Amino acid sequence: MIRTAVTLEVHKSRRLRVGVLCLVMVASVVALAGMNLFSDATRAGFSDPAAQPWEALLLNQVLMTAMTAPILVAVLAGRQVDIEHQGRGWTLARVAGFGPGTLCRAKAVVLGVVLTLTTGAQSVLLLGAGLAAGITVAPPLALWGRYTFCLVLVNLALLCLHLWLAARVEHQLVGLGVGLLGAFYAVFSLLMPVWAAYLLPWGYYAAISPLAMSGDHLVRSGPVPWLLALFLGAAATLFLLACRRLDRSEGGPA
Amino acid sequence: MSHVITTEGLTKTYGSRTVVDSLDLRVPEGCVYGFLGPNGSGKSTTMKMLLSLVRPSRGAISVFGRPMDRRTRHELSPMIGSLIESPPGYGHLTGWENMAIVRRMLGLSERQVRRAIATVRLGDHMDQRVRAYSLGMKQRLGIAMALAREPRLLVLDEPTNGLDPSGIEEIRELLLSLADEGVTVMVSSHLLDEVDRMASVLGILGRGRLVFQGTREALFDRSVPDLVVDTPEPRRALELGIPAVRVRGGVRVSGTTDDGTAELVRRLVHHDVPVHGVRRVRRSLEEVFMDLTGREGLS
Ligand SMILES: Nc1ncnc2c1ncn2[C@@H]1O[C@H](COP(=O)(O)OP(=O)(O)OP(=O)(O)O)[C@@H](O)[C@H]1O
Ligand SMILES: [Mg+2]
């Protein structure tokens, strides 16, 4: 059942410009985060580990991602769910034996794959940009990899939240507004004390930052593992419970 | 006669408002069942309950002889072709793409889909996006989606909504031919005229209650025919205080018994009103319908 539902979502996503949106997101993050690579001051430190050229690039990615990812997630979830509200898809699916919760889970699978690919591509391209620009210090691959992995997980958690919101609230501007506020919160979390990042889901874009400022130096950092695990576990559990409730409810989800 | 849909005491309340009240529906197999009622009488709510889209507050539903509830709906509802309120259709996809979604959802064959499209005559517009469809085209697509699975039962809520007269005629012929093939069709309307010529069994709702269920003939039989008195002096007849309305060449009295007729004629003759003729006329189905459901709230 869920496999059929996933196939259906892939077919429904036609013309929703999911791919284009993700490409724009990747391109803008890579362009904005990599901008400094071309300033002379930065180039001077390309072969000096003390100048931390990779760390600077990675921190730029964290900032740009915090700014854009919440919005991308909100837009993708909104588009993929809005078609059901507009086209009476909930009823169509329900009388064919697919509850709204099943539809939401299928959407999570499809968009989850897309977001994972987008996130991966973003990190790889940025790494490539650094190499192409001529950074000769060895890149901190493990650190970058860990950040990318955490980012994928946080994106998926937020995706679940936005899918649920988009299904429950028919007006899609609400989801988009929440995404925008979330982006603000994510960016501010990077500047606020560490604990603030753990208060709201969007703060986790900052909490997973692999680097922190210490004096005028960047030091390795990372999320509190059990807090991150708790957040991800709670998001997954609540989403699945909400989907089950939607499947058992009458009519549509809104 | 076996019944495809039966309900016992089917009731829906929203808060303290009862919008569907103790319905005992009997939809016989292989007929077109016209489900009639003025706006807001509870037709859509009832049909949603039949499809398990709305949970009944009370009562039981059985479809194909099996109870329809939350546990069985995933099995039963795909066997019913349905169209409830406005038709479904993804606006950003073409007609074909929409039908492909339905085909995958129900595991249908390409042939079934093509047949359904040919039946509703939407073939020329299938490459167009549904967003650009007219209401009538959307309605046809919705009917095609309901038909593609070749169901034994169709539940259609105002399927002729937005169709032009020739479209309505097409749907009428389509439903009749489906019934000939043994498909049971339950079709709702707030216009008696629309279902009158296709439904062999009628169920009439008035304010959530089933005020009539049976054949068209039984509905006529229930109403007492009107009496027309031909007279060149209708004014004088009316001045006698007879509960009548003036019609061409006389007056028309509604719903009189045989004794009442005798008494009426006696009074007219006694007051020297010239009576040229007295005859019974059948009331139109529309009038019977209006009497049953109350005259207000009809569009
Ligand atoms: N979700 C709801 N909450 C509260 N009241 C509702 C709800 N759905 C329907 N109603 C009420 O139930 C009554 C019956 O509505 P329904 O849509 O079944 O009527 P209908 O016979 O289909 O009318 P129409 O011919 O206009 O389609 C209406 O008075 C409506 O206001
Ligand atoms: Mg209705």
Tell if the CB–CB gap between A11 and B87 is shorter than 8 Å: no
pLDDT recorded at residue A185: 96
Report, in this order, helix, strand and coil percent for chain A, each rounded to 5: 80, 5, 20
Residues 6+ apart with CB under 8 A from B291: B223
ipTM of the complex: 0.91
B39 lines ligand 1 (CB under 6 A): yes
Interface probe with A: pick from B51, B61, B90, B127, most Cβ of A within 10 Å: B90
The per-residue pLDDT of chain A, averaged, comes to 93
What value does the mean pLDDT take over residues B203-232? 87
Query: Nearest to residue A22, comparing CAs of A64, A72, A65, A67?
Result: A72
Residue numbers in A near B93 (CB within 8 A): 12, 14-15
Residue numbers in B near A11 (CB within 8 A): 97, 100-101, 104
Tell if the CB–CB gap between B53 and A95 is shorter than 8 Å: yes
B53 touches chain A (CB under 8 A): yes
Tell if the CB–CB gap between B88 and A12 is shorter than 8 Å: no
pLDDT recorded at residue B295: 57
Phi and psi dihedrals of B152, rounded to 5? -85, -15
Tell me if the pTM is above 0.80: yes
Contact criterion met (CB below 8 Å) for B6 and B25: yes
* Amino acid in position B278: V
pLDDT tens digits, residue range A170-197? 999 999 999 999 999 999 999 888 888 9
pLDDT recorded at residue B198: 87
Long-range contacts of B9-18 (CB under 8 A, 24+ apart): B9/B58, B9/B59, B9/B60, B10/B46, B10/B49, B10/B56, B10/B58, B10/B59, B10/B60, B10/B61, B11/B56, B11/B57, B11/B58, B11/B59, B12/B42, B12/B45, B12/B46, B12/B49, B12/B54, B12/B56, B12/B57, B13/B57, B18/B208
Tell if the CB–CB gap between B77 and A97 is shorter than 8 Å: yes
A20, A22, A27, A33: CA torsion to nearest 10: 160
DSSP secondary structure string for all residues of B176-225: HHHHHTT-EEEEEES-HHHHHTT-SEEEEEETTEEEEEEEHHHHHHHSPP
Query: What is the DSSP secondary structure assignment for residue B57, as one 8-state letter?
Result: S
B108 touches chain A (CB under 8 A): no
Provide the residue ranges of all domains of chain A, joining segments of one domain with +: 2-248
* CA end-to-end distance (rounded Å), chain B: 34
Alpha helices in chain B (DSSP H): 43-50, 73-76, 95-106, 110-120, 135-147, 165-180, 192-196, 216-222, 234-239, 258-270, 285-293
DSSP secondary structure string for all residues of A40-107: HHHHHTTT-GGG-HHHHHHHHHHHHHHHHHHHHHHHHHHHHHHHHHHTTHHHHHHHTT--HHHHHHHH
The band of B70, judged by pLDDT with boundaries at 50, 70 and 90, is: confident
pLDDT recorded at residue B238: 86
Alpha carbon of A248: minimum distance to chain B alpha carbons (Å): 7
Task: Give the H/E segment covering residue B5.
Answer: strand B3-14
Residues 6+ apart with CB under 8 A from B115: B148
Contact criterion met (CB below 8 Å) for A92 and A181: no
The per-residue pLDDT of chain B, averaged, comes to 89
Q: Which residue has the tokens 């709510």?
A: B45
Q: Which ligand is nearest to the Cα of residue B37, counting in written order?
A: 1
Q: Which two tokens stand for residue B195?
A: 């279902």
Around ion ligand 2, which residues have CB less than 5 A away? B 44
Q: Is the pLDDT of residue B226 over 90?
A: no
Q: Is the pLDDT of residue B297 over 60?
A: no
pLDDT recorded at residue B298: 38
pLDDT tens digits, residue range B157-202? 999 888 888 888 888 888 998 999 999 999 999 888 778 888 999 9
pLDDT tens digits, residue range B96-112? 999 999 999 999 999 99
What value does the mean pLDDT take over residues B131-135? 93
What value does the mean pLDDT take over residues A241-252? 89
pLDDT recorded at residue A79: 96
* Amino acid in position A181: L
pLDDT tens digits, residue range B31-64? 999 999 999 999 999 999 999 999 999 999 999 9
* Distance between CA atoms of residues B250 and B231, nearest Å: 5
pLDDT recorded at residue B299: 34
B87 touches chain A (CB under 8 A): yes
Percentage, residues of chain B above pLDDT 70: 98
Contact criterion met (CB below 8 Å) for A226 and A212: no
| Atom of ligand 1 lying closest to residue B12 CA | 12
pLDDT tens digits, residue range A48-107? 888 889 999 999 999 999 999 999 999 999 999 999 999 999 999 999 999 999 999 999
Among B10, B13, B19, the mutation site with the greatest number of ligand 1 atoms within 8 A of its Cβ is B19
Tell if the CB–CB gap between A15 and B104 is shorter than 8 Å: no
